[in-house]
Every structure is written in C-alpha cells, then in structure tokens.
Chain A
Amino acid sequence: MAQKKQKYDRQLRIWGEHGQEALENAKVCLLNCGPTGSEALKNLVLGGIGSFTIVDGKKVEPSDLGNNFLLDHDSLGSSRAKTATSLLQELNDTVDAQFVEESPEALLNSNPGFFGDFTLVIATQLTESALLKLDKICREHSVTLLVARSYGLAGLVRISTEEHTVIESKPDSAVEDLRFHCPWPALTEYAADFDIDTKDPLTHKHIPYGIILLKVTEEWKASHDGKLPANSKERAEFKEAIKARTNPLEEEENYKEALAAAFKVWSPPSISSELRTVLDDRAAETLDAKSPVFWILVAALNAFVKGEGAGELPLEGSIPDMTSFTESYVGLQRVYQEKALSDAAAVEGHVRRLLKKLGREPASISPPTVKHFCKNARNLRVLRYRPLAEEYGAVGNKKGELQSLLGSEDNSHAALYLLLRGADHFAATYNRFPGVFDSELEEDVSRLKAVAGGLLNEGGSGAALPDDYVTEVCRFGAGHQADHEAVCTTVGNVPLQRDGILIGCAKPLTIVDAPLFGETPRESKRNALNFMLGRKRNVACVSHENERDSLEMSDASLRSHLSEVFPGRRRD
C-alpha cells in the first residue's frame, strides 16, 4: 500500500485519491494494438487502470518493428494482441491483462455484446463504417468510446458518449469566494473584534487584509446608502480610504494586500454561464427514481441558490494567505469553514427532501458526498457528445460552414478533417488508401480531392481543398494500420489527457475542434480534434482563434536560415 502510494505519487498530486480510484476501477478495451493503441494503453497501464483487453487479429510484421515499442523482434509472426498484452503486463503487474485474437471488425459482427462490458473502448485505426456500428453499441451500453486515428503526420481524435459529468474539475486557479460584499453575521461579528485604527504598530500591521476590507466596506456602505463603490471614481476613493489607514512609518504588507485585493469587494465571483447552464439543465428538472446522483445534487444546489443562498453558491470555505498573526488568520479561516459547513448542511437538506420525494432512501447520498459536491460546485461540468452517425451525416448539411472555413486564412483544420474522412471514403471506393502505390500517386491526389470534396458537395470537385494538404495526405500513404511512432504517441495520448473520462473526478476531456461539427448551443462542446504534426502549428485547435499567430513570415525566414545551417549534412 505504502509502495503503491509512492509509485503513483506524482500523479496522485494531480488527480488525488478519487481520481486514482476511478482509474483503478476502469475496464478498458483497445481495438487494434498498432502504435496508436499501444501507446494509449501503455500510459493507462502505467497509471494503474483496473484491466484491459486488446482486440487485434493481426500477426507481427516487419513494419510493426519500425514503429511499435510494444511489439518486438522475437514475436515476428505471432499474434500482435498476445505480444502487446504480455509486454504491457510487464509495466504494471496490478493491471488485469487480457486479449482477444480477432479483428475488431469481425468481433463487431459476431459478438456485439462483447463491448458492453467496458468502461471505455479505445478504437484506433478503424474506418467509418466500423465506427458507426461501434458507437451505436457503446451508446446502448453507456460505454464511453474514444476514437483515435493516426494518419502519416496527421491524426484525429474524438470522444463519443451520451453524457459525462464532472464534479472535481480541479481548475488551475481557484476562484476566491470571500463575500466581502455581503458578509454573513458571523463574519461581521468576527471582524468587529479588530480595531483597524489601533495605535499599536505591530498589531496594526498584522490585521488580515480580509478584515481591513470588511471594515472599510462597512464604513463605505454606511456613508453611501448601503451601496458598494459603483464607478472608477468611487473605487479610487475606496482605495484612498484604505491608504489613509496605513502607518507611514511602517512597511505594512497587509495594507498593500488590501489595496491589491480591493477589487474583490466590487467584483465578487459570479455564477458562470457554464454553471448556470448546468443548474438549468433539464436533467435536474425532470428527476425520477433512476436519476443519477449527480443530477439530484445539481437540483439540490439549485434549490439552495434560489433559497438560502439568495443567489449565491454554497461557500467554498477556503481563504488565501493573508499577512497577519497566526491566531487572527486561523480564526478567520474557521469562520469561513463554519459557513461552508452550514451551507453544505442546507444543501444536504434539499438532497434528503428530493430523495424522499423520488421515493428513494433519503440517506442514500452521504453527507461527505454532498460536502465534496458543494466544495466543487463552482466548477461542475457536463459534457455531451453527438453520436458519430450525426457527425458523419451532418457534414452535407453543414457544407456552407465547412466551405467558409476552408476559405479562411487558417483552413488546416477543415482541410485535414475532410481529407482524413475522405481517405476512408477513398478506401471504400478503391479498396486501398490513397498514395500507397508510387505509380498512382499523382492520380490519387485528384481522386482524393474529389472524394473529400464530395463530402462537402455532392459531385463536388474539392477545388476548395488546399493542394498542399491533399498532396501531403497522399504522400503519407497511410493505408496500413501502421504509422509514425511519434505521431501515434501523440494521437494515442491526447485523448487521455485530463480525462474526465476515466478519472471521473478530474477535469473533463473536451477535445477541442471545429465548431461546425458542434452541437446545439446548449450542448456545444466541441468534440473532435484533428491535427497535423508536420506543420509548424503542431497540434492545431481552433478554440482560441484570437491568439492565432502570424507565422508565415517567420517561417519563411527560418527556412532560409535552415538551408544554410545544414548545407552538407547529408551524404551524397
């Protein structure tokens, strides 16, 4: 146990015990153990998932030895699934390792129920028709599907699941909820014991800034009809009122902190629009005897906000460090913690009431669960992903959006998305992927262009697709399951990041991408990522358009330099 804690120490510091528990309960199924799949599974095994099952019907070939670290020379000719399973098992003996020596496509036909037994199915290098079947099965059994496709120097990942809810989303920077604008009685009472005009310099410089702000706010309200500073002039006056209290003879950190934090008085954290969407979600309004615990908690939270909370969330309860005497600080901390406890108790009351109403055991959701939920209330997340059938079918309807994206300055996402999907359609038509034969490379460029263009527009020419990318995708010749190890490592791992998927309590995996394939606004979580590692913008995402850099110029200058840097580096 101690050793386990030590072994997982570096990751426990990120996702904590809850995350680790979720990981250890996860049953993962991998379809195809090429480099993409092997790499994804390798890092899940290292992290300590409960079990995995590899489904792969192929034998180890020479090309596997050029890109897959989990297949070795000695296993040439034997089962890929078996070899990868045994080499993965070496990495972590606590993981239960299984394999099925059969092609995923065959298994989909012969035993579709097989997939219902997993937490997560990772489908790598499958084409559209197989994915459509698989997605349907996974949704029927509430299994999360993760699609990963590597293609030369490009790739695409996609999550598909009905609904994924996250409580412990562990934001990078915690929002400080300090309530200076609306202190509760116990806080006002605690502050009353401090004299911010005390003549004792040592005491004066050790009053926590929270107390200073509470006192100055109180005075301000008294002289301004109970209102807070409302404009920049008033805010400047408010700050002056703080400055006027400082002792000019002393270096007073606490007053500096009070000035720096003064904005918290007039701009307290509000309920984000994202959270508001969760609170107002239909799932919380239409509870029934089978509703997930998450939605009962959300309904209780909403009742609190509308009731006792008077528009505020339950208090989170922690406070930032403040220069002060230990005792003053610890005392202040306690006041906040007590309020957090009483808010959580109020939410718990709503939970019991709701459970009773639904005919469920009122104690079936434990007080620690409610407390934990309240502590994380500000960052609750709900992610919903469209079925693949909808995405694949919708392209035709969204052709206008796609076309306008293709015409935009940065059209790489749209182009790669269409081309990677186009390659599958190409394969369905020609029974091979574009670019596998040198002799037909040129013809394949125009063929792929037409096929990918056809996704946009029935009978379209694909003229809007940038030639550079069409040529590049053909150049990759990625008809095989195999690909470039480093690219596969990325494709295999990107989806494992911050995985709300396995580590239900950590942050959600919102794979970002092309908004045009997005959902209705209410569910708009972009859910595919396509990228190309051969480009200067290695992994491309479109969610932060405003930060786009203008690399064309510098890229050109770098190119000219590079040609000078390595003039004779190759053998002639």
Chain B
Amino acid sequence: MKVTLNGESVQLPEHITFVSDVLKHYNIHEKIVVVEVNGKILSRLEHENTRLADNDRIEIVHFVGGG
C-alpha cells in the first residue's frame, strides 16, 4: 500500500493493515506519539482498529523541546 507518511511518499509492506501495524513497523509503538489519518486525529485506542488504505495521508507527531 502506498501512503503519504509525514509528507513523504512511502510504500508500506503488505502485512500492514492497521495504524498500530505502522507504528510497530517503524518500531515506535512504545513511544509517545499521536497519529492523524486524513486529517482525523486518533486516540491511542483507535490505533488498533483504524484500517489504512492506499493514498492515505498519515501524520505521526510527538513532543519535542520547545518554549
């Protein structure tokens, strides 16, 4: 499946179905992240049951140092 991930076009492996699979794929499932898919912000619980599709726009954000 081809998606836009944090602004970059990415080909995801075939086994990926849910948002949680993406997080595991990039080994960030234990980090504090927030995911938005096609402009919809997901709660942590929704990572498990939000299915991805071709051309989805995924944003994965986190907290960084700032004032």
User: Are A and B bound to each other?
Assistant: no
User: A-side interface residues toward B, CB under 8 Å?
Assistant: none
User: B-side interface residues toward A, CB under 8 Å?
Assistant: none
